[in-house]
């Protein structure tokens, strides 16, 4: 790719995020001539929307981890499990790999996503030029791993549908799983509403000079 690093703003170009067509002299909000999608230089209200989803997700993160996600009724009595008590159960019974998997997918990934998006959003809001390449990579990682947090929702759903043997063993879903599912959906919406291009909108707008420094073989 020759001639890199000139921003669309500098050339008054706008790319359609749906069909990838490039337009010259397009006005924000105008419809793409190829696919009809509204063209926007940046996702509208990206930072505020991302904040709204993040705050909602952070609030629900507490009940998601404190309330029981699964209630097991067996001959031995009733047992209520939270996300972390499920991890501890696997760890104690010797299934270390599985304990680590659930701990990462259900506990670490949502926490990592929340803190990473807060970081990305704050730095984008301040138009910071701090570690832009790393921030771009961080965002791409978030897009890939976010969905895997749904793991526990599916485990509980399947167990609740399967273990329904009256009197012997019965598993029902706890309120915590609803909060947990909401956290996953909200963090996914947060990362979808964040515009990665904001990472490169800095006050020291000199992308052509930065290029040689940021360039790195991939």
Partner 1 sequence: MTEVPDAIVCEGCDAVYRRVPLRRREVSRCPRCGTELDRHAGDQSARVLPLTVACLILFAIANLFPIVEIELQGLSNQTTLAGAVVALSSEGMSPVALLVLMTTILFPLMQLCILFYLLVPMAYERRPTGFVILVNALQALRPWGMVEVFLLGVLVAIIKLSSLAQVIAGPALWAFVGLTVLLTAVLSFNPRTFWEMAFEPRPGQEG
Considering only residues 145-204, where is the footprint of partner 1 by CB under 8 A?
146-148, 150-165, 168-169, 172-173, 177-178, 181-182, 185, 188, 192, 196-197, 199-200
Binding residue for partner 1 (CB under 8 A) from 62, 66, 88, 95? Answer: 95
Which of 58/173 has CB closer to partner 1? Answer: 173
Residue 37 found at the interface with partner 1 (CB under 8 A) = yes
Q: Give the shortest CB-122-to-partner 1 separation in angstroms.
A: 18
* DSSP structural state of residue 27: P
Which of 114/135 has CB closer to partner 1? Answer: 135
Residue 206 found at the interface with partner 1 (CB under 8 A) = no
Q: How far apart are CA 159 and CA 69, in angstroms?
A: 11
Residue 21 found at the interface with partner 1 (CB under 8 A) = yes
Q: Mapping DSSP to helix (H, G, I), strand (E, B) and coil, where does residue 26 land?
A: coil
Mark the segment that binds partner 1 (CB under 8 A) among 15-23, 46-54, 57-65, 111-119: 15-23
Q: How far apart are CA 183 and CA 200, in angstroms?
A: 28
Q: Give the shortest CB-49-to-partner 1 separation in angstroms.
A: 16
Q: How far apart are CA 78 and CA 162, in angstroms?
A: 17
Question: Which CB contacts under 8 angstroms, 24+ apart, belong to 139-143?
Answer: 139/191, 139/194, 139/196, 139/199, 140/196, 141/116, 142/113, 142/116, 142/117, 142/191, 143/191
Mark the segment that binds partner 1 (CB under 8 A) among 2-10, 44-52, 55-63, 116-124: 2-10
Binding residue for partner 1 (CB under 8 A) from 14, 64, 116, 186? Answer: 14
Phi and psi for 167 in degrees, rounded to 5? 85, -35
Q: How far apart are CA 83 and CA 76, in angstroms?
A: 21
Number of residues that bind partner 1 (CB under 8 A): 86
Q: Give the shortest CB-30-to-partner 1 separation in angstroms.
A: 7
Token representation of residue 111: 């926490």
Binding to partner 1, residues 42-61 (CB under 8 A): none
Residue 29 found at the interface with partner 1 (CB under 8 A) = no
Q: Give the shortest CB-95-to-partner 1 separation in angstroms.
A: 7
DSSP string, 153-190: HHHHHHHHHH-EETTTEEEEE-HHHHHHHHHHHHHHHH
Binding residue for partner 1 (CB under 8 A) from 56, 101, 119, 138? Answer: 101
Phi and psi for 75 in degrees, rounded to 5? -60, -25
Q: Give the shortest CB-55-to-partner 1 separation in angstroms.
A: 20
């Amino acid at each position: 790719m020759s001639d890199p690093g000139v921003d669309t703003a500098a050339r008054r170009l706008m790319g359609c995020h749906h069909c990838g067509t490039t337009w010259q002299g397009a006005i924000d909000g105008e419809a793409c001539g190829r696919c009809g999608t509204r063209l926007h230089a940046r996702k509208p209200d990206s930072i505020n929307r991302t904040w709204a989803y993040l705050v909602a997700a952070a609030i629900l993160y507490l009940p998601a981890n404190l309330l029981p996600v699964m209630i097991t009724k067996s001959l031995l009595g009733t047992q209520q499990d939270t996300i972390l008590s499920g991890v501890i159960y696997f760890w104690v019974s010797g299934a270390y790999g599985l304990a680590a998997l659930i701990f990462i997918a259900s506990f670490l990934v949502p926490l990592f996503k929340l803190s990473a998006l807060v970081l990305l959003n704050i730095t984008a809001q301040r138009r910071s030029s701090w570690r832009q390449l790393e921030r771009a990579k961080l965002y791409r990682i978030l897009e890939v791993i976010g969905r895997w947090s749904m793991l526990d929702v599916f485990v509980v759903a399947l167990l609740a549908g399967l273990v329904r043997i009256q009197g012997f063993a019965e598993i029902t879903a706890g309120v915590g799983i609803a909060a947990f599912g909401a956290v996953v959906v909200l963090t996914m919406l947060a990362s979808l509403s964040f515009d990665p291009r904001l990472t490169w909108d800095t006050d020291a707008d000199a992308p052509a000079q930065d290029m040689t420094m940021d360039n790195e073989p991939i």
